[in-house]
Amino acid sequence: MMKLGRTELFGIGIALALLGLPAWMMLAGMLIPFAPSAEWPKNVGLAGLAAPIAAGGTYLFRKGGVRPLAWLLLGWLLVAAIAGLYLAMVMWIGGTPRG
């Protein structure tokens, strides 16, 4: 079996994070009609963001220990940081929506 290097693991972490973002939006979008004014659908959807990284991380930890998992999480955190900065900029430029 081929051994994955740091770059590949970093890329896998980024890919898993990018898979998790639309999954979170889709899950939150499905739950919001059940409680339109509540926060819990968004929180449940946000918790679903961790599912791809937990699955990939568990597999890699069993295969190679802690070192591959660290690179995977680093890629995941990079995407999370960029997404957080993007959302902060949108809120700063566009303002808070008032409904």
**What string of pLDDT tens digits covers the 99 residues of the chain?**
556 677 777 777 777 777 776 766 777 777 777 777 767 666 766 666 666 667 666 776 677 667 666 777 777 777 767 776 776 777 677 765 554
C-alpha span between 49 and 1 (Å, rounded): 29
What token pair was written down for 38? Answer: 């509540």
31 in Cβ contact with 45 (< 8 Å): yes
The pLDDT score that the predictor gives to residue 45 is 64
Place of tokens 């679903």: 48
The pLDDT score that the predictor gives to residue 41 is 64
Q: 53: Cβ–Cβ under 8 A, 6 or more apart, which residues?
A: 13, 16, 17, 20, 72, 73, 76
The pLDDT score that the predictor gives to residue 42 is 66
The pLDDT score that the predictor gives to residue 95 is 64
Listed by start position, the domains of the chain span: 6-94
The pLDDT score that the predictor gives to residue 34 is 75
72 in Cβ contact with 57 (< 8 Å): yes
